[in-house]
Amino acid sequence: MTAHGIARAVTGGVTEGMPPQNDIGPRFFDRALLARRQRRARSLGAETFLLDRVAGDLADRLGAVLRTFSHGADIGPPGDAVARAVAPLASNIAHVDLPEDDTEALPLAPASFDLVVSALALQFVNDLPGTLAQIRRALKPDGLFLAALAGGDTLTELRQSFAAAESEIEGGLSPRVLPMIEVRDAGALLQRAGFALPVTDVDRIVVRYADVFALMRDLRRMGATNILHQRRRAPLRRATLFRMAQIYAQRFADDDGRIRATFDIVWMSGWAPHDSQQKPLKPGSGKISLEEAVKASGQKS
């Protein structure tokens, strides 16, 4: 696909059978605020160690597929790390930003790409099932979707420490850390969106810091601070912040005094259905009954 063809595929989606997603249900994230936070992160000097790690892992996983791709899309990239990592495996990669508003309609034409990838972006969409359905429609038959998003127990230490400090100092809790997808739910979402051969797994990355304030500086430079619609608008009380830091150090420090921060990267992959793909056997098509199989197994032992 030429550069002109890629541009047409990216810009033609809303008018070619993909209606805008105006009714997306609950809006957890302030996406306009996310865009401002990400711009601020770039102005401060973006911290990319986690994205670089995920981009490298994504390229490794894609390389194991043993095929090349011609028409790819990188969804919601906060930088060019993913595009650079997968460039040897895909001849054309279109950069597709997630919308800053809450419509979350991706400008992708149906059946336009044989590869769609995303790294550390989809955890910020309000309607993940709807976004996955849009990606599925944008894939050609036998096209591949491969994505990584923060989920599971990501930043569990920070969440626990804030909860304990706020309960103790302020007598209540406020939403501070994003809700996280679990790996067991990711597979169900892929199936719901119509992907074939869905596969999910989780990669746990533990990073160590001198203190929680160093962690929070990195989160700020990742553009990953609080963007919840229901976040407390009042400034964080100094007493709560310092109590949180004490609790974090007490509960999650190693013997050398450095603290741990967990990042669970949930991986999702699936294919647009195609006749060449493996199919599960139809119920009742087996050549031997379960009872016979159990008897045969017992005889061999």
Domain coverage including residue 188: 3-300
**pLDDT tens figures, 198-253:** 999 999 999 999 999 999 999 989 888 766 655 565 677 899 999 999 999 999 99
pLDDT of residue 32: 79
Mean pLDDT of 186-207: 96
Mean pLDDT of the chain: 82
Q: Among positive and negative, which fits the CA dihedral 235, 263, 35, 84?
A: positive
Q: What percent of the chain has pLDDT over 70?
A: 78
Higher pLDDT, 139 or 89: 139
- CATH number of the domain at 175, please: 3.40.50.150
Q: Is the pLDDT of residue 30 over 80?
A: no
Q: Looking at 50-64, 85-99, 244-258, which range is the least confident one?
A: 85-99
Phi, psi of 13, rounded to the nearest 5 degrees: -65, -45
Residue 62: phi and psi, rounded to 5, are -65, -35
Burial class (CB in 10 A: 0-12, 13-18, 19+), 94: buried
Look at 41-45, 61-65, 153-157, 185-189 and tell me which has the smallest mean pLDDT.
41-45
- pLDDT for 280 equals 58
pLDDT at 42: 85
Q: How far is CA 226 from CA 18, 30, 162, 229, 273, in A?
A: 31, 9, 13, 9, 37
Q: Are 118 and 148 in contact (CB under 8 A)?
A: yes
Phi/psi for 75 (5° steps) reads: -90, 125
Residue 34, pLDDT score: 79
pLDDT of residue 117: 96
Question: Which residue would you say has higher pLDDT here, 102 or 255?
Answer: 255
Summarize the confidence of residues 155-159 as an average pLDDT: 94
Residue 272 in this model has a pLDDT that exceeds 80: yes
Average pLDDT value for residue range 163-191: 83
pLDDT at 20 over 80: no
Structure tokens at 88: 């040897």
Residue 293 has pLDDT above 50, yes or no: no
Total tally of structural domains belonging to the chain: 1
pLDDT at 175: 58
Band (285; pLDDT cuts 50, 70, 90): low
pLDDT for 200 equals 97
**pLDDT over 90 (residue 3):** no
E strands of 44-180, at which residues? Answer: 72-75, 93-96, 113-119, 139-151
**pTM of the predicted protein model:** 0.80
- The residue-averaged pLDDT of 25-45 equals 79
